[in-house]
Amino acid sequence: MADKSVADSPPVDFWRSLLYFNLYRLALASIFVFLGGAFGSSLALGAHNLLLFFGSSVVYLAVVVSSFIPLRLRWPRFAWQLAGQICGDIVGLTVLSYASGGIQSSIGLLLLVSLAAAGLISRGKITLFFAALASIAALLEHSYAVLHDDAAAGQYVQVGLLCMSYFAVAWLAHTLAKYAVDSQQLAQRRGRDLVSLAEANRLVMRDMQDGVLVVDGEGLIMQMNLRAERLLRKSISMGSALSVTFPILFGQYALWKQTGSASRDILQLDVGLQARLRFVAIEHDAENGAVIFLEDMQRVRAEAQQIKLAALGRLTANIAHEVRNPLSAISYATELLLEEQGDTKQQRLLQIVLDNTQRINQIVQDVMQLNRRDRAQPEVFDLDAMLCTFVEEFDLAERFVPKAGNPLADKPAVELTQPGVMMLVGMSGVEVFFDRGHLRQVLWNLCRNALRYGRKLPSSMVLAMSEQDGHVVLDVLDDGPGVSAEHQAKLFEPFFTTSSEGTGLGLYIAKELCEANGARLEYHAVEGRAGACFRITFGDLHRDGGELEHGR
């Protein structure tokens, strides 16, 4: 019966080892047949009975050759085949030893090789059973020689020593085999652990918000996650030199290795793109390489803004009632004072008070809109139909500017724009998945900005629908001066505005509402066209068996 460790080990290794052992037996049997047939008793082989030696060698060779057949078929099972081969060696070598003069021929020593091989191959305590069989065979062979062939009885001591060597070799082979099995199992566990750690490391690096580069002591890139590729705007192969691919980053790395710190913590990667550097040595010595962390400062600022605005939103929601009550009183009192006839200077000061109260009220309303992000109720609707309605409403609402309480209200309304200032172009029959109220709010904000900075001529503003990379895209274009490169990086930051009348929250809220509906809002430069372009990229919209499914 095979030991449990045999059954638990990979069978391929055991069958291969048994094949190699059988090849050794084939070579040994062939040598015996060749020497017995060619040289006879001149080599002391078959000195007692040459015919028996040669016949036993031929039979032994035939048994070894025939053992390749079940070995090829792998039937019967491994333990039975190993036991059959070892027992065959014990019987064959014992007969050959008797035919060559017994213990004096030293052929019995060859059983040590078979026992050692059995211990290493089987890796179980069954090897001691084989040693016991070999010892019994040696004792029986010598006893037969003493009784029938007048062999020296004093040679029992040599036979006993040979039997002891059988057990010693068997036990040593068993111990070494057990140690090899333990080492193999430990190596397999360590290998599985390393694979698991490597996979965990890959997943962690892939999902990290920071860019990560692993470099060796010579500056060769060993690992790099996708975030680092996006920050550095370059995809490279492993093993590339950091000095060639990112020379600025390599300069900071070389300086860190020499002094222990970089010359600057913030690295300018591109226009509007900065990263905070942090170096961590792989081992105690920085000469063995380091892990370089690139922290996106834009993301850090965005998180800080989120925290700030969330706190501001909660604060505003709590004090909105208290703020609006005095604002309403001030506004109402100012409007009453404006209705009274007074000098122009006083009217001017009252108008300033009224405008600023309205601006404060607008800031409170804009900040409170941040709470609507989590209450999005998207639905599927026709974008072109919704935009046609929006264009008509916007054209009517923004063409005239009546102001209640304005001292000029008794005069005819001032026409600000000409008819057809906004033009709708692009494909029709487009369906999107969005909250209607949120989309109208986003469009009102973008179109009012376009109207403010545009030339207010027919077709000065364009709403263009298209499809790019399987996504529906809506561009809001104007013919104004556009946005400078300096201001593009700050467009969607809260409280950033270039207008003295703006609150700086409109674009930020519009971007937040788009993201809440699985869309993106970004500033897009159009080649060959002056002015600004804000692009809304809607999420995917799939059809499955007539049902609509939205996938972000």
CATH number for the domain including 280? 3.30.450.20
Q: What are the two backbone dihedrals, phi and then psi, of residue 124, each rounded to the nearest 5 degrees?
A: -145, 170
Q: Do 418 and 547 reside in the same domain of the chain?
A: yes
pLDDT, tens digit (0-9, with 9 covering 90-100), for 130-144: 999 999 999 999 999
Largest CA distance in the chain: 152
Number of domains, the chain:
3
Q: Is residue 359 part of a domain?
A: no
DSSP 202-259: HHHHHH-SSEEEEE-TT-BEEEE-HHHHHHHT----TT-BHHHH-HHHHHHHHHHHHH
**CA geometry: angle 376, 322, 307, nearest 5 deg:** 45
Q: Do 166 and 284 reside in the same domain of the chain?
A: no
Q: Do 389 and 490 reside in the same domain of the chain?
A: yes
How many CA atoms within 13 Å lie on the side-chain side of 276? 9
* Of residues 153, 140, 67, the one with CA closest to residue 97: 140
Q: Is residue 323 part of a domain?
A: no
* Of residues 505, 369, 380, 367, the one with CA closest to residue 435: 380
Q: Is residue 26 part of a domain?
A: yes
pLDDT value of residue 319: 65
Peptide bond into 76 cis (omega under 30): yes
For residue 536, the surrounding DSSP H or E stretch is strand 533-537
| pLDDT over 70 percentage in the chain | 84
Q: Do 426 and 502 reside in the same domain of the chain?
A: yes
Q: Is residue 314 part of a domain?
A: no
Q: Is residue 48 part of a domain?
A: yes
Q: Do 86 and 170 reside in the same domain of the chain?
A: yes
pLDDT, tens digit (0-9, with 9 covering 90-100), for 164-190: 999 999 999 988 888 888 898 899 999
| Tokens read off for 217 | 């002591």
Q: Is residue 195 part of a domain?
A: no
Q: Is residue 366 part of a domain?
A: no
pLDDT value of residue 327: 81
In this prediction, residue 47 has a pLDDT band, given cuts at 50, 70 and 90, of confident
Residues 316-339, buried b or exposed e (16+ Cβ, 10 A)? Answer: beeeeeeeeeebeeebeebeeebe
* Statement: residue 41 has pLDDT above 80: no
In this prediction, residue 9 has a pLDDT band, given cuts at 50, 70 and 90, of very low
Q: Do 110 and 171 reside in the same domain of the chain?
A: yes
Domain end among 273, 300, 327: 300
pLDDT value of residue 5: 45
* Statement: residue 520 has pLDDT above 80: yes
Q: Do 183 and 233 reside in the same domain of the chain?
A: no
* Statement: residue 410 has pLDDT above 60: no
* Statement: residue 417 has pLDDT above 50: no
**CA geometry: angle 373, 377, 380, nearest 5 deg:** 130
Other CB atoms within 10 A of residue 243 CB: 15
Quote the DSSP letter at residue 538.
Answer: P
Other CB atoms within 10 A of residue 500 CB: 6
pLDDT, tens digit (0-9, with 9 covering 90-100), for 422-433: 888 888 888 899
pLDDT value of residue 501: 62
Q: How many angstroms separate the Cα of 32 from the Cα of each of 67, 114, 281? A: 18, 16, 65
- Report which residue type is found at 448: R
* Structural domain of 210: 205-300
Q: Do 230 and 290 reside in the same domain of the chain?
A: yes
544: domain CATH number?
A: 3.30.565.10
| Tokens read off for 490 | 């700050």
Q: Do 32 and 94 reside in the same domain of the chain?
A: yes
Q: Is residue 247 part of a domain?
A: yes
Q: Do 260 and 153 reside in the same domain of the chain?
A: no
pLDDT, tens digit (0-9, with 9 covering 90-100), for 329-338: 888 888 888 8
The answer to pTM > 0.85 is no
pLDDT value of residue 192: 93
Output 145 or 201, whichever has higher pLDDT: 145
By the 8 A CB rule, do 516 and 437 touch?
no
* Of residues 51, 54, 121, the one with CA closest to residue 85: 121
Query: Which of 126-130, 144-148, 341-345, 498-502 comes out lowest in average pLDDT?
Result: 498-502
pLDDT value of residue 418: 56
Q: Do 138 and 180 reside in the same domain of the chain?
A: yes
* Statement: residue 406 has pLDDT above 70: no
Other CB atoms within 10 A of residue 34 CB: 12
Q: What is the mean pLDDT of residues 119-131?
A: 83
Average pLDDT of the chain, as a whole number? 81
Q: Do 39 and 185 reside in the same domain of the chain?
A: yes
